[in-house]
Amino acid sequence: MKIKLILVGVFLIAGSATMLSLAQQKVGPTPTATQLAWHDKEFYLFMHFGPNTFTDLEWGHGSEDPNVFNPTALDCNQWASIAKAAGAKGIIITAKHHDGFSLWPSKYSKHTVRESKWMNGKGDVIKMLSEACKKAGIEMGVYISPWDRNHPDYGTLKYNEIYIQTMKELLTGYGRFFELWWDGANGEGPNGKKQVYDFKRFQDSALSYQSQLVIFSDIGPHIRWIGNENGIINETNWNLLDTAGFKRGAGSPPNDTLNRGNFNGKVWIPGEADVSIRKGWFYHPEEDNTVKSGKTLFDLYLKSVGRGGNLLLNVPPDRRGLIAAPDSAALMQFKKIRDEAFSNDVFKGAKILKTKNSIEVHLKKEESLNAIVLREDIQWGQRVIRFEISGGNDVEHFKPITTGTTIGHKRIVKFPLQKLKYLRIKYTESKASPLLLAIEGYEFPESL
């Protein structure tokens, strides 16, 4: 049951357009158009790929022989078509990880695909992936690690300039990216020195090359880390964050704050939950048996997308340069489970009654359901603080079903199976009159 009907309800009950315009006043910080579009992506893939894939490391030292990078059958079309088939909206690739190795022949480094024997030094993974994503109709993003354990200038002022030029090369040479990923890690470079990153300039420069970019880091500016690498967002999740006095990396807000946001935060900085499909971020053959099942991935989806954030699922290509069989099988299973779970909205065609503090669904006949999906119209601000769900077969006698807190972009609420004709969501606390975009009801298979 989508938006329009519900809004019609608001019109009727409010009785005048004035009420509507009052409800549609912005409350607190609100997302930009770019952030709104980012929210709607919900789920996309992360790919960690580079020398570590071949050396079995998670953090390369930066001194590796570039020749170790030698995928035997690299096929970015395979990555993109698997991502597409899994329902992922894009791929974010480690264009440069902490070891400094660039997956494109950067002018600003001597540690790149050009120095490797892969394709006789003529290869460019970023180019291949951007073409493959375009072909598959998905988007692409880049992880460009500020920490660089290879670059001789790391730890000096010059490196900040080099980092900016490196970003420029990527952001102006390969078409549009939807997201730029900044890792907070700041360790020592080859000279044992640490870098003082000029993030203000990094940010201004990146946005001057691609103004539509959504930049990720511990504290945004546009989207935040969720405080863990398990893909799990707190049940209460505010899209707001206070960043004053905090830094990326060691000076970031406590993980618990990142996990739930700030109730009265001053800036709209929603959370992105990153997690790997297998134990490590990079591919290691001995971790093939750690690949998460479709069912586990669905559970993570409920705990990330279902709690108002986005899910960034890492699926690292193997030494051939392909997504390994167990990973692609799990992704397809995950997609199948989602398709089944959300195949039949039992609220479709139902009558929706709306009052100031509640919304009621009157079904035509009794239905079985154990999950509902709620969406707030977040362009007007995130409003719902707490709600209660009740229902039954008789309008006069509703039984409590469950309770919840924030809604935001999407809230998926699971509860024990109910057979009912009427369901009510009562907003027990909200910052302002709640505006819902959608309310849907489903019967998830028992096994979920």
- Using CB under 6 A, list all residues that contact ligand FUL: 58-59, 183, 185, 274, 281
CB 144 within 8 A of CB 216: no
Nearer to ligand FUL, 229 or 366 (CB): 229
CB 380 within 8 A of CB 3: no
301 φ, ψ to 5°?
-60, -45
Nearer to ligand FUL, 101 or 281 (CB): 281
Nearer to ligand FUL, 142 or 361 (CB): 142
Smallest separation (angstroms) from ligand FUL to the CB of 63:
17
Smallest separation (angstroms) from ligand FUL to the CB of 84:
23
Residues 131 and 111: their CA atoms lie apart, in Å, by: 23
Hey, how many other C-beta atoms are within 10 angstroms of the C-beta on 183? Answer: 19
Indicate the Cα dihedral angle 346, 349, 350, 356, nearest 10°.
110
Nearer to ligand FUL, 274 or 377 (CB): 274
Nearer to ligand FUL, 230 or 262 (CB): 230
Nearer to ligand FUL, 59 or 209 (CB): 59
| Residue among 110, 196, 97 nearest 148 (CA) | 97
Smallest separation (angstroms) from ligand FUL to the CB of 76:
20
Smallest separation (angstroms) from ligand FUL to the CB of 323:
18
Smallest separation (angstroms) from ligand FUL to the CB of 52:
8
CB 79 within 8 A of CB 47: yes
Smallest separation (angstroms) from ligand FUL to the CB of 26:
33
CB 124 within 8 A of CB 105: yes
341 φ, ψ to 5°?
-60, -40
Residues 41 and 276: their CA atoms lie apart, in Å, by: 18
Structure tokens at 272: 């992105």
Smallest separation (angstroms) from ligand FUL to the CB of 20:
43
Smallest separation (angstroms) from ligand FUL to the CB of 198:
20
The count of C-alpha atoms lying within 13 angstroms of the C-alpha of 222, restricted to the half-sphere facing its C-beta, is 24
Nearer to ligand FUL, 178 or 427 (CB): 178
Residues written for the chain: 448
Structure tokens at 245: 């006095």
Name 79's Cβ contacts closer than 8 Å, sequence gap at least 6.
Answer: 45, 47, 91, 129, 132, 317, 322, 323
Instruction: Report CA torsion sign: 107, 109, 113, 114.
Output: positive
Nearer to ligand FUL, 58 or 161 (CB): 58
Smallest separation (angstroms) from ligand FUL to the CB of 96:
11
Smallest separation (angstroms) from ligand FUL to the CB of 70:
21
Q: How much is the CA Rg of the chain, to the nearest whole Å?
A: 23
Structure tokens at 343: 């195949």
Smallest separation (angstroms) from ligand FUL to the CB of 41:
18
Amino acid (one-letter) located at 351 = K
Smallest separation (angstroms) from ligand FUL to the CB of 98:
6
Q: Given the DSSP bridges, would you call strands 267-268 and 223-225 parallel, antiparallel or unpaired?
A: unpaired
Nearer to ligand FUL, 27 or 185 (CB): 185
CA distances to 132, 272, 276, 298 from 335, in Å: 21, 20, 17, 9
Nearer to ligand FUL, 136 or 277 (CB): 277
Residue-wise DSSP of 114-137: GGSSGGGGT--HHHHHHHHHHHHT
| Residue among 302, 273, 345 nearest 448 (CA) | 302
Residues 121 and 103: their CA atoms lie apart, in Å, by: 11
Q: Given the DSSP bridges, would you call strands 240-241 and 267-268 parallel, antiparallel or unpaired?
A: antiparallel
Nearer to ligand FUL, 45 or 423 (CB): 45
Nearer to ligand FUL, 275 or 361 (CB): 275
